[in-house]
């Protein structure tokens, strides 16, 4: 089979690394890819938002299956357009992708199908927001409705802060159309965890759970990022929680997907808060997580292409998906200044010095004159696999300093929470 993966991050590097293990795969292309991906697949110079060009590429190169990494093309409707062109693709159609593309759509879906989540109000004007905010205690969560690349959620400590955040979004249009509507939400206390699932629209199958670390610095300090490190599994995800999530969240989510006639053949990623009143949904994402994928896929024992084929054929129920009992830890090396301003084009040294039993997934790298240089905020993910989290994290931290570039930083506490 010939495969196209769309995206350019560590998630896509991990996906391609896994797909390469399948005997069913002949050739993998990645649009646009990165320097690490270029070593194990063919990078093609098409942006992930250029759907017409991607379709032309698939037709000209007889691509058998396309897998979409990032949310933006899914929310744009890439799946619908591919299907109109008789091209096979993994991902939800545009209607279903609103589960990530619109916070109010997702909240209304959860409400309709009785899925535990934080109480909320949806407002379009400052006046309505002023009224709604009176119902909440502090801190309160303010969310821009649309996609905002991880920058659309604000945890506000008092009324003044809330109103100025609301004004910036609705009136000053700080995030543009993403802030046409906002969701005001009750603040949930607890431990966050992520659960990625495969679905063919008829069956939903959770993968092993994983734990992201969103804040930039140790002890969960500093600004929110796309994710500075992950580990899998997380002790918080006990058997009791697993069963509760199955009955209270996965089953009604699937019921909603069916009843709303959503065309959903792909990945659904559920961000959970495990509260003292049980697990509640923080958000849905309609794709693999980054860097969750980097710790989940190394634990997958089943051929990923076979799983994707079962999804496309709506036969997910017929495949037994196996996971290793190993633990995995991923630590992200980031560019100084991330998630705000950072430099690009800095030479990266020492990539080949990492011990053989670790995995190195490139997040934001490029190749310039045969040198690998930084090309993003998150640059490299180093993944250790071990018999427990302590063992896996020890391997990562014994190796990570071998990779060096100016102004790099990483969290030293991944796997400790």
CB closer to ligand GLY, 185 vs 212: 212
Q: Which stretch binds ligand AMP (CB under 6 A): 108-116, 180-188, 196-204, 360-368?
A: 180-188
The residue with tokens 């009791």 is 240
CB closer to ligand GLY, 78 vs 129: 78
Q: Which stretch binds ligand AMP (CB under 6 A): 69-77, 183-191, 246-254, 317-325?
A: 183-191
2/27 Cα distance (integer angstroms): 5
Residue 217 binds to ligand AMP (criterion: CB under 6 A): no
Packing angle, helices 304-312 and 10-19, rounded to 10? 100
Binding mask 267-306 for ligand AMP (x = CB under 6 A): ----x----------xx-----------------------
Answer for which of 185, 290, 303, 309 binds ligand AMP (CB under 6 A) is: 185
Answer for which of 113, 187, 217, 397 binds ligand AMP (CB under 6 A) is: 187
Residue 220 binds to ligand AMP (criterion: CB under 6 A): no
CB of 302: closest distance to ligand GLY in angstroms? 22
Q: Which two tokens stand for residue 241?
A: 């929680």
- In sequence order, what DSSP letters do the residues of 322-375 get, joined into one string? -B-S-EEEEEEEEETTTTS------B-B-GGGS-TTSEEEESSEEEETTEEEE-
Q: Which one, of 182, 309, 318, 197, lies nearest residue 253 by Cα?
A: 197
Q: Which stretch binds ligand AMP (CB under 6 A): 164-172, 182-190, 231-239, 388-396?
A: 182-190
User: CB neighbours (10 Å) of residue 355?
Assistant: 10
392/397 Cα distance (integer angstroms): 9
Sign of CA dihedral 294, 298, 300, 304: positive
- Three-state SS for 177? helix
CB of 15: closest distance to ligand GLY in angstroms? 13
Residues near ligand GLY (CB under 6 A)? 212, 226-227, 285, 289-290, 292
CB of 160: closest distance to ligand GLY in angstroms? 30
- Three-state SS for 168? helix
Write out the residues near ligand AMP by the rule CB under 6 A: 118, 141, 143, 153, 185, 187-188, 192, 214, 271, 282-283
């Amino acid at each position: 089979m010939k495969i196209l993966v769309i995206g350019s991050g560590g998630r896509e590097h991990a996906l391609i690394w896994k797909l390469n293990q399948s005997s069913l795969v002949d050739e993998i292309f990645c649009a646009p890819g990165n320097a690490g991906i270029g070593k194990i697949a063919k990078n093609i110079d098409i942006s992930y938002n250029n759907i017409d060009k991607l379709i032309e590429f698939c037709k000209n190169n007889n691509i058998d299956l396309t897998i979409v990494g990032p949310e933006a093309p899914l929310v744009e409707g890439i799946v619908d357009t591919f299907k109109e062109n008789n091209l096979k693709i993994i991902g939800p159609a545009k209607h279903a992708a609103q589960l990530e593309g619109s916070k109010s759509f997702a909240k209304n879906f959860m409400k309709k199908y009785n899925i535990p989540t934080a109480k909320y109000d949806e407002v379009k004007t400052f006046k309505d927001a002023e009224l709604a905010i009176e119902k909440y205690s502090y801190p309160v969560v303010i969310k821009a409705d649309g996609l905002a690349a991880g920058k659309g959620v604000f945890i506000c400590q008092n009324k003044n802060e809330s109103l100025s955040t609301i004004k910036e979004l609705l009136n000053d249009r700080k995030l543009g159309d993403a802030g046409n509507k906002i969701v005001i939400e009750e603040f949930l206390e607890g431990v966050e965890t992520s659960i990625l699932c495969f679905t063919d629209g008829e069956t939903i199958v959770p993968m092993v759970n994983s734990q992201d670390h969103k804040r930039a610095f140790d002890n969960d300090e500093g600004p929110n990022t796309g994710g500075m490190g992950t580990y899998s599994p997380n002790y918080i995800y006990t058997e009791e929680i697993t069963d509760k999530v199955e009955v209270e969240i996965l089953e009604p989510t699937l019921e909603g997907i069916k009843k709303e006639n959503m065309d959903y053949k792909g990945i659904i990623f559920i961000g959970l808060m495990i509260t003292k009143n049980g697990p509640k949904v923080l958000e849905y994402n309609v794709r693999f997580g980054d860097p969750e994928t980097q710790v989940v896929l190394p634990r997958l024992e089943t051929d990923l292409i076979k799983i994707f084929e079962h999804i496309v054929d709506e036969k997910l129920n017929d495949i037994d998906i196996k996971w290793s009992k190993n633990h995995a830890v991923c630590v992200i090396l980031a560019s100084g200044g991330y998630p705000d301003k950072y430099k690009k084009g800095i030479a990266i040294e020492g990539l080949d010095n990492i011990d053989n039993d670790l995995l190195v997934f490139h997040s934001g790298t490029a190749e310039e004159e045969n040198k690998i240089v930084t090309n993003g905020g998150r640059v490299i993910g180093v993944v250790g696999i071990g018999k427990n989290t302590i063992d896996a994290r020890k391997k990562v931290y014994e190796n990570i300093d071998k990779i060096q570039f100016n102004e790099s930083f990483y969290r030293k506490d991944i796997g400790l929470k």
